[in-house]
Amino acid sequence: MNLTRRHLLALAGASLVSRPALAQSRLSVVATTGMIADAARRVGGEAVEVKALMGPGVDPHSYRQTRSDIVAMTRADLVLWHGLYLEAQMEEFLLKLGRRRNVAAVGEAVPQAELIGHEDYSGKFDPHVWMVADLWVPVVRAVRDALSDTAPDRAGMFAANAARYIDEITRLGDYTRGVLQTVPPPARVLLTAHDAFGYFGRAYGYEVLGIQGISTESEAGLNRIRTLVDLLVERRIGAVFVETSVSDRNIRALVEGAAAKGHEVRIGGELFSDAMGEPGTYEGTYIGMIDHNATVIAAALGGQVPARGMDGKLRTGM
């Protein structure tokens, strides 16, 4: 059922009922993305029940809230969203909801000095901070603080859970840096469907090229495709990457264009950009998502990687 903008905003402000007593009950938490939901589950433990609005393969740049989403958010004890203009089509609704309900934009906890400016919107920033483990740590702390503010009696448990999780993320960052450094410097070129890997490139010394811009809402023109085909041929780049949440049409056009010019380019692998893997899998966690990306990229570009990633948990061997 289609809802008008007026109806969406009215629903956001409609729920004025008192929140339930939280002392013994599980907190109802709604998170927009899978990455934030994973952080809420790890930090909240058994004290939370978490619903993610966007599942595997869903593009947050274009996602619009459904009626069931609105009901879930207005009834939740806490709503966690990313911010930084990631949920572009939901932003107005979430800001309105935040004036009435318990809502936190946890991605905006990353210090502004660490952010990359958005190429299309003045005063806004690249939202893809989860691509670098070090930048995800402030987000996890923001999740911890939002949960603690919601249930102060459980703050000690949330702090302990967050500390353990941050230790894992720190170890993940060390692994990521290590395997990516094994790629020969001339081969450190990452070409993907859209420019979701800017923080990745800056952190690990990779040149990052996206067919589309930071947002998947931008269109890739024929001139952009031709330019990238010429670059692939001239620089003898041998691998490009598809993304689970973005159509592979443009990437395959690059492969075909390079082949027409006598240069073979292969699909180096499928990367998780704006969404994680399937629920219940290792790749369906933040740790597994980033382990997968780093391992697949390094292996495809000539680096040395463990057969199944950091702890041998990846489903596909390299």
**Do 147 and 228 have their domain in common?**
no
Question: What's the mean per-residue pLDDT of the chain?
Answer: 88
**Do 51 and 167 have their domain in common?**
yes
**Does residue 306 fall inside a structural domain?**
no
**Does residue 82 fall inside a structural domain?**
yes
**Do 16 and 90 have their domain in common?**
yes
* 149 vs 180: CA distance, rounded Å: 38
**Do 155 and 218 have their domain in common?**
no
pLDDT in tens, 226-270: 888 888 888 888 888 988 767 788 888 888 998 999 989 888 899
**Does residue 79 fall inside a structural domain?**
yes
**Does residue 311 fall inside a structural domain?**
no
Last-in-domain residue among 128, 149, 176 = 176
Report residue 23 as tokens. Answer: 């002392």
Domain around 286: 183-300
* 117 vs 314: CA distance, rounded Å: 33
CA 89 vs CA 45, 75, 94, 144: distances in Å: 30, 21, 10, 26
**Do 168 and 224 have their domain in common?**
no
Q: Indicate whether 314 pLDDT > 90.
A: yes
* 223 vs 175: CA distance, rounded Å: 38
**Does residue 222 fall inside a structural domain?**
yes
**Do 41 and 163 have their domain in common?**
yes
Q: Which residues contact 276 (CB under 8 A, 6 or more apart)?
A: 34, 35, 38, 56, 283, 284, 285, 286, 288, 289
Positive or negative: CA dihedral 33, 147, 292, 280:
negative
How many structural domains is the chain composed of?
A: 2
**Do 109 and 224 have their domain in common?**
no
- CATH code at position 216: 3.40.50.1980
Q: Indicate whether 13 pLDDT > 70.
A: no
pLDDT-derived band at 312 (thresholds 50, 70, 90) equals: very high
Q: Indicate whether 82 pLDDT > 60.
A: yes
**Do 9 and 153 have their domain in common?**
yes
**Do 164 and 242 have their domain in common?**
no
pLDDT in tens, 121-179: 778 899 999 999 999 999 999 999 999 999 999 999 999 999 999 999 999 999 999 99
Last-in-domain residue among 146, 176, 206 = 176
Last-in-domain residue among 176, 200, 231 = 176
pLDDT in tens, 19-50: 444 446 999 999 999 999 999 999 999 999 99
**Do 169 and 200 have their domain in common?**
no
**Do 78 and 165 have their domain in common?**
yes
pLDDT in tens, 61-74: 999 999 999 999 99
Lowest mean pLDDT of 134-143, 185-194, 240-249, 308-317, name the range: 240-249
**Do 108 and 207 have their domain in common?**
no
